[in-house]
């Protein structure tokens, strides 16, 4: 969960509490890394950081000249912090504008049961509508059967050498792709990699009825949201305008790959999803460290853009969330925020979520008044670094945290556990979506598919890694990752 803020590094701290005293002048021989590290320690980690008091003494002893900026950030974190991260200003702006470079605009994965079923093929996990491959008919579930110089047999990778070639040449441009589409059609084409791919964080927005799924007596909305981004709220508005027009009262909200994002975007989504008449009701309260306890505050359904309460609810009476291990932060917050108000009419299909109960402030460097004035005008030319330290923990209106361990399992547990069906595009044929629709029609979930698992392989599994074609721009590198690990059927590790 992210909230924007600025930090000025024109002051220093002699104790872990905010102070207006100016910093001493820096030695002209001090490196830029040192100056940033000092700002990070004295003006961010000693003030905004949720564990500021716990790390203060240790951070004060750090020799800032010995650390690069990224290493310094890691060295200053509290021992149990697995969420905070930072990035360059360039990286931040690439995400904020929605244009990503160095990519074909899709993500690849294998089935997690590839060893058991002997299927080492690589499938499209998701694809952006603006990807050049989408224009060629490639969708989620399409099987990649080859790239230039490499033919992949029917069961996928056969040797370690094939995997190494794939890793090395995947981003070659021009590239020749061979796919078997979900309808069985085999296609081949040559493409130049675009300078950038424009993203739409709504991967799919559909309305199902009885013609799509037998037995449906009313329209059901389906909404697949990849990441909460402030710049794409208009897309959110357009999707829910269609749901409202169709009279949708039951919704499937697919956040299986959503690692979180902007607070205003999540507030808008929960305001659409909440039952009618709840505007003005709290859905979360932020709790800060002792130094910033005065900043503890609640967020309310329908309070958009800091203005008056607005009822934008489309009047849903039942919601099905599809989530997974990489569903984190704002995704979990929306689910948790609705729990006190919808209990028996709120369902969860998929796998246990990540477990991120806290949030960050987005802290810009430089963040002095002069820089802030430029940012306010949309000029980010001087932005060098962006820090995302954990600054608060969230509870819903009933005082419930998102489960996060270590004493309890991290994340929410599903009502119906089902693997990620990467063999089908998002829609009525995809197993998790089908399960939700079956529950709406019959009041029960169907049996699992006969295969042991349709899950895509995720990070942390021992194997040979194939880089995802869509880089991890949408999530904190410490959670919600989307790495692809490939098993060579004849490889040794």
pLDDT in tens, 293-322: 999 999 999 998 778 889 999 999 999 999
Q: Would you say residue 21 has pLDDT above 50?
A: no
Q: Would you say residue 2 has pLDDT above 70?
A: no
Average pLDDT over residues 154-163: 82
Choice between 63 and 305, residue whose per-residue pLDDT is larger: 63
Choice between 169 and 466, residue whose per-residue pLDDT is larger: 169
Average pLDDT over residues 242-262: 95
| 11: number of Cβ within 10 Å | 16
pLDDT band at residue 408 using 50, 70 and 90 as cut-offs:
low
pLDDT band at residue 454 using 50, 70 and 90 as cut-offs:
low
Distance from C-alpha of 480 to C-alpha of 389, rounded to nearest angstrom? 16
Q: Would you say residue 333 has pLDDT above 50?
A: yes
Of 186-195, 244-253, 287-296, 465-474, the range with the lowest mean pLDDT is: 465-474
Of 91-105, 173-187, 259-273, 300-314, the range with the lowest mean pLDDT is: 91-105
pLDDT band at residue 491 using 50, 70 and 90 as cut-offs:
very low
pLDDT band at residue 323 using 50, 70 and 90 as cut-offs:
very high
What per-residue confidence (pLDDT) applies to 458? 40
Residues 292, 44 contacting (CB under 8 angstroms) = no
Whole-model pTM: value is 0.80
Percentage of the chain beyond pLDDT 90 is 62
| 159: number of Cβ within 10 Å | 12
What per-residue confidence (pLDDT) applies to 483? 28
**SS3 of 360-407:** EEEEEECCCHHHHHHHHCCCCCCCCEEEECEEEEEECCCCCCCCCCCC
Torsion of CA 214, 216, 217, 221, to 10 degrees: -150
What per-residue confidence (pLDDT) applies to 100? 74
Of 110-114, 365-369, 463-467, the range with the lowest mean pLDDT is: 463-467
What per-residue confidence (pLDDT) applies to 243? 98
Average pLDDT over residues 223-239: 88
CA 168 to chain centroid, in Å, comes to 27
Which residues are bridge partners to 485 per DSSP? 465
What per-residue confidence (pLDDT) applies to 405? 74
What per-residue confidence (pLDDT) applies to 474? 34
Quick one: which of 478, 492, 485, 488 has its CA closest to 73?
A: 478
- Give the CA radius of gyration of the chain: 24
Q: 342: Cβ–Cβ under 8 A, 6 or more apart, which residues?
A: 275, 319
Distance from C-alpha of 328 to C-alpha of 121, rounded to nearest angstrom? 28
Distance from C-alpha of 188 to C-alpha of 136, rounded to nearest angstrom? 9
Quick one: which of 300, 227, 297, 319 has its CA closest to 265?
A: 227
Q: Which helix (H) or strand (E) covers residue 204, if one does?
A: strand 202-208
44: which DSSP letter?
Answer: I
Residues 204, 224 contacting (CB under 8 angstroms) = yes
Residues 355, 410 contacting (CB under 8 angstroms) = yes
Mean pLDDT estimate for the chain: 84
What per-residue confidence (pLDDT) applies to 407? 65
Q: Would you say residue 435 has pLDDT above 80?
A: yes
Q: Report the range out of 106-120, 229-243, 379-393, 396-410 with the highest average pLDDT.
A: 379-393
Cα distances (angstroms) measured from residue 63 to each of 37, 75, 232, 290, 358:
10, 11, 42, 27, 29
pLDDT band at residue 247 using 50, 70 and 90 as cut-offs:
very high
Cα distances (angstroms) measured from residue 158 to each of 41, 163, 462:
50, 8, 17
Q: Which helix (H) or strand (E) covers residue 73, if one does?
A: helix 69-75
Q: Would you say residue 79 has pLDDT above 60?
A: yes
Residues 235, 202 contacting (CB under 8 angstroms) = yes
């Amino acid at each position: 969960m992210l909230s924007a803020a600025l930090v000025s590094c024109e002051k220093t701290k002699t104790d872990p509490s905010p102070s207006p005293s100016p910093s001493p002048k820096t030695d002209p021989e001090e490196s830029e890394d040192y100056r940033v590290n000092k700002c990070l320690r004295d003006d961010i980690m000693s003030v905004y950081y949720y564990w500021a008091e716990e790390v203060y003494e240790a951070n004060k002893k750090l020799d800032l000249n010995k650390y690069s900026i990224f290493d310094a950030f890691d060295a200053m974190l509290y021992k149990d912090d697995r969420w905070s991260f930072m990035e360059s200003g360039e990286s931040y702006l690439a995400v904020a504008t929605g244009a990503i470079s160095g990519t074909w605009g899709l993500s690849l994965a294998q089935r997690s049961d590839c060893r058991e079923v002997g299927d080492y093929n690589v499938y499209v996990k998701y694809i952006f509508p603006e990807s050049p491959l989408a224009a060629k008919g490639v969708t989620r579930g399409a099987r990649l059967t080859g790239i230039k110089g490499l033919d992949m047999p029917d069961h996928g990778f056969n040797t370690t050498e094939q995997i190494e070639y794939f890793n090395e040449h995947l981003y070659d441009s021009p590239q020749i792709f061979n796919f078997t589409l979900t309808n069985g059609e085999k296609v081949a084409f040559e493409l130049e990699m675009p300078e950038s791919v424009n993203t739409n964080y709504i991967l799919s927005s559909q309305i199902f009825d009885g013609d799509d799924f037998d037995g449906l007596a009313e329209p059901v909305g389906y909404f697949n949201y990849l990441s909460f981004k402030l710049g794409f709220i208009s897309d959110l508005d357009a999707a829910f305008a269609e749901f409202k027009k169709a009279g949708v009262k039951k919704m499937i909200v697919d956040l299986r790959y959503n690692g979180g994002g902007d607070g205003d975007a999540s507030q808008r989504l929960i305001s659409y999803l909440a039952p009618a008449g709840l505007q003005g009701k709290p859905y979360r309260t932020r709790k800060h460290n002792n130094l910033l306890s005065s900043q503890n505050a609640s967020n309310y359904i329908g309070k958009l853009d800091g203005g008056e309460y607005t009822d934008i609810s489309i009047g849903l009476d039942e919601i099905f969330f599809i989530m997974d291990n990489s569903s984190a932060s704002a995704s979990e917050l929306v689910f948790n925020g609705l729990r006190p108000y919808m209990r028996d009419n709120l369902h969860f299909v998929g796998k246990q979520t990540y477990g991120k109960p806290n949030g960050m402030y987005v802290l810009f460097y430089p963040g002095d008044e002069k820089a802030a004035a430029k940012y306010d005008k949309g000029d980010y030319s001087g932005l060098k670094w962006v820090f995302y330290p954990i600054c608060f923990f969230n509870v819903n209106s009933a005082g419930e945290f998102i489960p996060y361990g270590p004493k309890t399992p991290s994340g929410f547990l599903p009502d119906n556990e089902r693997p990620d069906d990467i063999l089908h595009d998002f829609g009525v044929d995809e197993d998790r979506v089908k399960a939700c629709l079956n529950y709406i029609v019959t009041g029960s979930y169907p049996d699992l598919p006969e295969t042991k698992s349709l899950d895509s392989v995720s990070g942390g599994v021992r194997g040979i890694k194939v880089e995802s074609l869509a880089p991890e721009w949408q999530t904190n590198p410490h959670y919600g990752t989307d790495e692809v690990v490939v098993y060579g059927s004849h490889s040794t590790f």
